[in-house]
Every structure is written in structure tokens, then in C-alpha cells.
């Protein structure tokens, strides 16, 4: 019995051809099988460098992070905390915390510069269990100048439903610093933001049963009909059934086969390792602020003639001194303005032909032959699109 290799998984039509060989003699059958195998292996090797794993281009529905946020206090700062006179919420929070601990401070006593109000954020990974630890990020909320040397007090971290999912506390690790003198200030990084590695303890789990699912949905990170269909075909070829169907450009649904029922983890593990070649739209991305242009592989330009010329006006101002001759009896020294205006209309620039491009490299070479900068290139690409000679969409960031 012929074993289905990865090459045949990617080309299920070859399996159908092999079934036809049952009508041939054993010698002809062997020759045909060898020929088809070499053909499949050559195609597989030629496109292997462009193939991506399904796990790298999709997400499984339900397997996701959850955002957490909380409000807390950082203590132990060396005079870089919030100003109690201006930061009213910091004073109120500090006073409320001390009251819970049995201390009743007065307003006059709350004049410390060693406390800062902060926001604590974290991501709760999927399938996190009680007692597991997560990283948290601490960011200053008031007018604190630095969190260096501070310690976060016990802070509940809430989910979108208002429930407490984790509790954070610990010494801050600040990646930046700030030093100031009378005439100069040096700042490196962001001293008002810090992290606590494993500083959060999970207190509540997000209920999600994966093992007993009857179907699994996969979401494409870059929605595309062709890519979704290729994923479904690769999965069906691997499973040997029509378990995977394309719902839309973003979603591929897999009905859990009988062999994987009650053990969906094995199904996801096998499926996510399959490789396909993602397709992409012909798109040009432009960032006019920074002059960045990114072109996709499928961008094509029909044969066009382009002329690019800049009108440059240069104005130079200079002062000249006019004074009488050395032995003149009458006259005064005067300062006069002299203006020199030069106009460059780009007379040396002529029409250049950009031939119809077959590859992205040929198209780039044709545009580079015009000898223009990125910002002028943006205008030219938009003009080519307006002329109907570009088979791609332009998106401006």
C-alpha cells in the first residue's frame, strides 16, 4: 500500500491518478508511480521555501489571550513620586490604603514624594491555571518622574467583566533612567514605565473545554479566499476526509473526525504543522509621512511612459555696502539689498518608458531607472494607478 507523504498531502490529485494505475500492468504501474513521485517531490521542494505552517498564519477560535488591567500604588521611590498637592487621586488612594491597614493619617502628614499612582496591565494566556504566574507592566498615572527603585503593592487585576483574575506585587524593573542638573537633563528610555517578571499570580481561570469540541474554527490573520481554500484542501488531504470547509475569507471550520473525538489537542497539533503557500492581494502600502513604500509580490504595471521634473526656485539674499570714493567731499555709506533668483525647470528630464513587468524585481528596476526619490515615487505610483496601468490597490497609512 502506498504511503501518503507530505508531497502527496499537498497535491491530493496525485492520489487520484495513482488509483487509475490499478488498471495498468505491474511494470507500467511502477514506472508511473515513480514518475509521479519525482514530479511531486520536485514541486514540493521548489515551493518549500515559500510555504508557511498553518499555525503561523491562523489562530484557533477560543485559544486567545485576555487583557487585564488594575490600579495600584508604587512605594519606595527616591523623591520621584507624585506630588501630593497636585495628585489628588494619589493622596486619596494612599489615605484609603492606610485606613484599611488601621492607620488614620492627617492631610498634613500625607506630603511624601515617594509614592506614585500606577496602572497595572497584563495578558492572561489561554488555559492559565490558578497559581500560575504572569508578567505585568506598570505605568505611571500621575506626575511621577521615575519609578526606579519602587515596589508595587498588592494590586488586583481585573478582566473586562469586572472580575479579579490575577493579583500583582513585586519589585519594579525599570529599563530607563533620568538624571538632571541645574543646566541639563539626561533621560534614557522611559523611566515612568516598568515590568515585573512573574509578578502576577492567577486567581481565576477562564473556562474553556477544548477536548470535547465537535468542531474547531480557524481564523486567518490575513483574510483571503485562496489561502483559506488551500488550508482546507491541505487539511482534507491529510485527514483523508472532507472535514475542513471554508466559511468565509477569514474562517475555516473543521469537523472533528471520529479518530480525534475526545482528543482535539492531537488534531490541532497535527493540523498546525501542515504547510501551505499563502496567497496575497496585489497591494501597495504607502506611508507619506516617512516616505516608505512597500509593494507586494503580485503588483504588476502595464507599459507606461513617465516624465518626472521638479520646478526648483532658489532665492539668495545678500547685503552690499555702497560708499563714496576715497577723496569725495560729499557722500554717505549705504547698505543695499541684492536678491538673486534662480529657476530650474528640470529641462534635462525626459519621458522614460517603464515596460510591462513580469516580476517585482523588474518593476522596481524600471522605476529606479527614473532616478527619483521615495517621495516622488509615491506621487508617480498614485499617478500610474489613476491612469489604470497598475493592477494593484494602493493603501495610504
Classified as helix, coil or strand, 366 is helix
Strands 66-75 and 292-295, how do they pair? unpaired
Q: 183-214: per-residue pLDDT in tens? A: 677 777 788 899 999 999 999 988 888 878 88
At residue 308, the pLDDT reads: 66
User: Kindly report the CA angle at 274 between 270 and 276, in degrees rounded to 5?
Assistant: 160
DSSP code, position 301: B
Rounded alpha-carbon distances, angstroms, from residue 34 to 24, 29, 30, 31, 395: 14, 9, 6, 5, 48
d(CA 172, CA 199) in angstroms, rounded, equals 9
At residue 393, the pLDDT reads: 83
| φ, ψ at 135 (rounded to 5°) | -80, 145
- Strand residue runs (E) in 25-132: 52-53, 58-60, 66-75, 116-124
At residue 7, the pLDDT reads: 44
At residue 280, the pLDDT reads: 81
At residue 75, the pLDDT reads: 93
Classified as helix, coil or strand, 388 is coil
At residue 180, the pLDDT reads: 67
Classified as helix, coil or strand, 142 is coil
Classified as helix, coil or strand, 118 is strand
DSSP code, position 122: E
Regions of the chain short of the pLDDT cut 50: 1-18, 20-21, 23, 43, 46-47
Classified as helix, coil or strand, 50 is helix
164, 130 in Cβ contact below 8 A? no
* Residue 201, strand partner residues: 133, 167
d(CA 255, CA 269) in angstroms, rounded, equals 15
Rounded alpha-carbon distances, angstroms, from residue 390 to 123, 284, 295, 334: 43, 10, 12, 61
Amino acid at each position: 500500500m502506498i504511503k501518503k507523504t507530505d508531497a502527496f498531502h499537498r497535491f491530493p490529485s496525485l492520489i487520484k491518478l495513482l488509483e487509475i494505475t490499478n488498471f495498468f500492468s505491474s511494470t507500467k504501474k511502477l514506472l508511473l508511480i515513480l514518475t509521479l513521485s519525482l514530479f511531486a517531490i520536485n514541486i514540493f521542494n521548489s515551493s518549500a521555501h515559500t510555504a508557511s505552517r498553518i499555525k503561523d498564519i491562523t489562530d484557533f477560535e477560543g485559544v486567545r489571550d485576555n487583557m487585564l488591567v488594575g490600579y495600584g500604588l508604587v512605594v519606595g521611590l527616591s523623591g520621584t513620586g507624585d506630588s501630593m498637592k497636585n495628585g489628588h487621586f494619589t493622596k486619596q488612594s494612599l489615605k484609603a490604603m492606610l485606613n484599611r491597614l488601621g492607620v488614620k493619617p492627617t492631610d498634613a502628614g500625607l506630603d511624601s514624594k515617594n509614592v506614585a499612582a500606577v496602572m497595572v496591565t497584563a495578558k492572561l494566556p489561554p488555559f492559565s491555571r490558578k497559581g500560575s504566574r504572569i508578567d505585568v507592566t506598570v505605568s505611571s498615572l500621575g506626575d511621577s518622574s521615575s519609578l526606579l527603585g519602587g515596589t508595587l503593592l498588592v494590586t488586583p487585576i481585573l478582566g473586562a467583566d469586572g472580575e479579579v483574575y490575577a493579583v500583582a506585587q513585586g519589585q519594579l524593573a525599570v529599563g530607563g533612567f533620568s538624571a538632571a542638573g541645574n543646566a541639563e537633563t539626561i533621560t534614557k528610555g522611559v523611566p515612568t514605565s516598568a515590568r515585573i517578571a512573574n509578578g502576577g499570580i492567577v486567581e481565576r481561570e477562564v473556562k474553556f473545554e477544548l477536548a470535547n469540541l465537535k468542531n474547531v474554527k480557524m481564523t486567518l490573520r490575513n483574510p483571503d479566499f485562496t489561502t483559506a481554500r488551500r488550508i482546507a484542501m491541505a487539511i482534507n488531504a491529510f485527514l483523508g476526509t472532507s472535514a475542513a470547509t471554508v466559511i468565509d475569507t477569514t474562517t475555516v471550520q473543521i469537523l472533528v473526525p471520529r479518530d480525534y473525538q475526545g482528543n482535539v489537542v492531537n488534531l490541532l497539533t497535527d493540523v498546525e504543522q501542515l504547510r501551505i503557500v499563502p496567497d496575497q492581494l496585489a497591494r501597495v502600502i504607502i506611508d507619506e509621512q516617512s516616505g516608505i513604500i512597500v509593494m507586494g509580490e503580485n503588483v504588476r504595471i502595464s507599459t507606461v511612459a513617465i516624465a518626472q521634473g521638479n520646478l526648483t526656485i532658489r532665492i539668495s539674499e545678500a547685503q552690499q555696502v555702497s560708499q563714496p570714493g576715497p577723496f569725495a567731499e560729499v557722500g554717505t555709506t549705504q547698505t543695499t539689498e541684492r536678491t538673486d533668483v534662480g529657476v530650474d525647470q528640470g529641462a534635462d528630464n525626459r519621458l522614460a518608458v517603464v515596460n510591462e513587468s513580469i516580476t517585482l524585481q523588474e518593476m522596481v528596476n524600471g522605476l529606479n531607472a527614473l532616478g527619483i526619490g521615495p517621495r516622488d515615487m509615491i506621487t508617480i505610483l498614485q499617478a500610474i494607478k489613476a491612469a489604470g496601468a497598475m493592477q494593484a490597490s494602493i493603501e495610504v497609512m
